[in-house]
Amino acid sequence: MKTKIQACIIDDEQDGRDYISLLLENEFPEIENTHQAASVEEAYIYLSKNSPDILFLDIQLKDGTAFDLLSKFREVDSKIIFITAFESFAIQAIKNGAADYLLKPIKKMEFIIAVNKVLESIRKNKNTVSPQSNKISLPTLQGFKLTDISEIIRCEADSSYTTFYFTDKTKIIVSKTLHEFEEQLSKYNFFRIHHKHLINLSHLKEYIKGKGGQVVMADHSVLDVSVRKKNDFLHRIGYLD
């Protein structure tokens, strides 16, 4: 039984493979870089016998294209993040089941956001985290609600209360401070960008520059980033090295 999420990097450039491998090592310790390949032939041999959770797949390889490789299989179960130097390949990548695609040269922040999106999808579909470890109990007037942490988009403070916003567009107000939840959720890819806002980075869609800046979340909310938190936040998402 796999204990880590497994990834395969397919790129005909050694520098490209090394860079992705380094990003995975530094930013996503839960992902195991299990294999690398430099050609359609090498990748085909590996994928014929293995099914990694994530494929980082360069579109142009030395002996063909990523689409040539995929055409050899009836179905590929892996989540595919296509990599290309040409934006014109984006539509074809989407038609071939892309979970996301990245343009070369790969930007660290875009890489982190893409991988977080794929990880969220994998965790929902494959139960890679034990049921107890990725749930949170939220007290209500009637009792409590047990909810998946991955379904929380953001938390907003209001004095001694905290409002939780979920992916299904519902919300819950809890009579606990945001600080209490910050300590509990920080290990699940949450970051406090402001004294009022704790966000799930897996649901981050955009950062808008400014004095502190703003973030756009999956529920289309636009939230301020405090000046004090700005640098730490940008480091966290990989915008600053």
Determine the distance from the C-alpha atom of residue 231 to the mean position of all C-alpha atoms in its chain, rounded to a whole number.
Answer: 20
Residue closest to 56 by CA, chosen among 24, 88, 89: 24
pTM for the whole structure: 0.53
5-30: pLDDT as tens digits = 899 999 999 999 999 999 999 988 88
Banded pLDDT at 214 (limits 50, 70, 90): very high
The answer to whether the 5-126 and 135-237 domains have the same CATH topology is no
Determine the Cα angle at 205 with ends 216 and 28, to 5°: 130
Residue closest to 100 by CA, chosen among 79, 120, 71: 79
| Pairing state between β 54-58 and 5-10 | parallel
Determine the distance from the C-alpha atom of residue 45 to the mean position of all C-alpha atoms in its chain, rounded to a whole number.
Answer: 28
Which CATH architecture best describes the domain 5-126?
Answer: 3-Layer(aba) Sandwich (3.40)
142-154: pLDDT as tens digits = 677 888 999 999 9
- Residue 93's H or E segment, with its range, is helix 90-95
Domain boundaries, the chain: 5-126, 135-237
Q: Write down how long the chain is.
A: 241
**Assigned CATH class of 135-237:** mainly beta
SS3 131: coil
